[in-house]
Amino acid sequence: MLFPSLTTQPSCEGIPPLTSPLSTSTHIIDIDTLTFGNDFASLPPAHYTRLQPTPLPSPYLVAVSPHAAALIGIDAAALQSQAAIDLFTGNDIPDDAQPLSAVYSGHQFGVWAGQLGDGRAILLGDVPAAENPAASGDNNINVPHRMELQLKGAGLTPYSRMGDGRAVLRSSIREFLCSEAMAALGIPTTRALCITGSDQMVLRERPETAAVVTRMAPTFVRFGSFEHWFYNQKHDELKTLADYVLARFYPALQQAENPYKALLTEVTIRTARLMAHWQAVGFMHGVMNTDNMSILGLTLDYGPFGFMEAFDPHHICNHTDQQGRYSYARQPQIGEWNCFALGQALLPLIGTVEDVQAALRIYKPAFAEHFMDLMRAKLGLQTAHNDDAALFDHMFNIMQDSHVDFTRFFRKLGELKMTAPGEADSVRDLFLDRTAFDEWALQYAARLQAEASDDAARKLAMDAVNPKYVLRNYLAQTAIEKAEQKDFTEVARLLAVLEKPFDEQPENDHYADLPPDWANDLEVSCSS
């Protein structure tokens, strides 16, 4: 199997039903009436540093996500006001906000890095979530009453180390677009409200203009937040943080016999399911350090990410990752490794190594169950069979041998006719070795016939889970290059396409094109 150590037959009976924090609202408020609190500031001062953002000169609006704005009841049009631009650049902070940057530590590329923290992010505070929230996607967390708003790129903090505390327009656009694209795909993620820019220059590999992306999540607490206190042998602070997370985000777990063990179990399940989501859509994070792992199981900190194109399970999307630690095929194992790191950090609270191991044992079956369910849905299979793993493995092998585009393959597979699989030219033509595809297609067709599948109904179901549009790097690069010339229309246009990834959108067919030749030279790294 593609993930041999993780595809065991699972049994997740007894896991409580999980809900989503995404919401919509018809109640619209003005920026001037947006009220801030800061629940995270209720923690002792050792967990953060209070500070003000560093203003940027003459800020302007680059992009807005209407769907993210609706999560907190704001009309996207209101974000075009100068007051909103100044607020979300960090130039004009409301009196009721309590801006701060959090401290945390972490393992980076498998090596203990010590203290890290919000080096360029400042938490403005939290605001009320939209009224009448409705579940959407599969985010597996309780619907929040409040959402934190964080300014990424807002200036120096005590945790900036050798950095300048700024984000550049290039990286801000990538994070903004991918956050919203992942949400539209139904994948647990932080959200991006807007981007503001400035002509102030920032030096990276080359001089670039500064920008701020406003990120949203119920909380930005991460695995490294707990590691920080464990490795500093400050168990009182560790307990304070764990109790805060339990009370705010996992209140039902407080009634468990061992709430901290229950917390580790729940976070492990969510992380496993998140990894399954990533693999099923071909998403690669690129920097799966423990300080980039959300305690809510959200996709967090978009840097050198990528969506799989020519299928290669060993593909590395991060040019900085010379050893391939965070390659596509290794993401599930690294997710488990990171859960073990969290388990180590929670050991003083959980009590025994045996209890920690028992909590972590759920990872493999949780991943396997969700991944197999997602793959069956992608192939339009309605029932589970013992030979499904072999069918999927064979599929991935022929995809790899012919370097088949990941997104296109699954989208076009819905066109295959059960009684004539060899005539599915649109998908067959993706393969260099058509004979290999024909052999697999016969097995797949037999599997469909065994459950009396209906071609038309199956195609509708498959199109609902196999996106036509994903954020390919060349699409992001095109939008970035135009934005660097002060033309932000392509960012907005691309966002609108990615918000409806499963729709045909014939007028936008070119956004589903294979990468042009020049895209072969694109590289993304930790500075991206």
Residues annotated as part of the active site:
291
CA 110 from centre of chain: 20
CB atoms within 10 A of CB 356: 22
| Residue 509: Cβ-neighbour burial (10 angstroms; 0-12, 13-18, 19+) | exposed
Give SS3 for 25: coil
Rounded Cα–Cα distance for residues 280 and 375 (Å): 7
Helix pair 363-378, 331-350: axis angle to 10 deg? 150
The answer to whether 149 and 91 are in contact (CB under 8 A) is no
The DSSP symbol for 327 reads -
Range list of β-strands (E), 277-370: 283-284, 306-307
Please check whether residue 166 is in contact with residue 153, taking contact to mean a CB–CB distance below 8 angstroms: yes
Beta strands per DSSP E along 225-374: 283-284, 306-307
What is the rounded distance in angstroms from the CA atom of residue 261 to the CA atom of residue 258?
Answer: 5
Q: Which residue has the tokens 């197999």?
A: 372
Decide if 143 contacts 248 (C-beta within 8 A).
no
* CA 524 – CA 528 distance, rounded (Å): 6
> Which amino acid, residue 312?
D
CA atoms within 13 A on the CB side of 189: 26
CA distances from 264 to 109, 280, 319 (A): 22, 24, 32
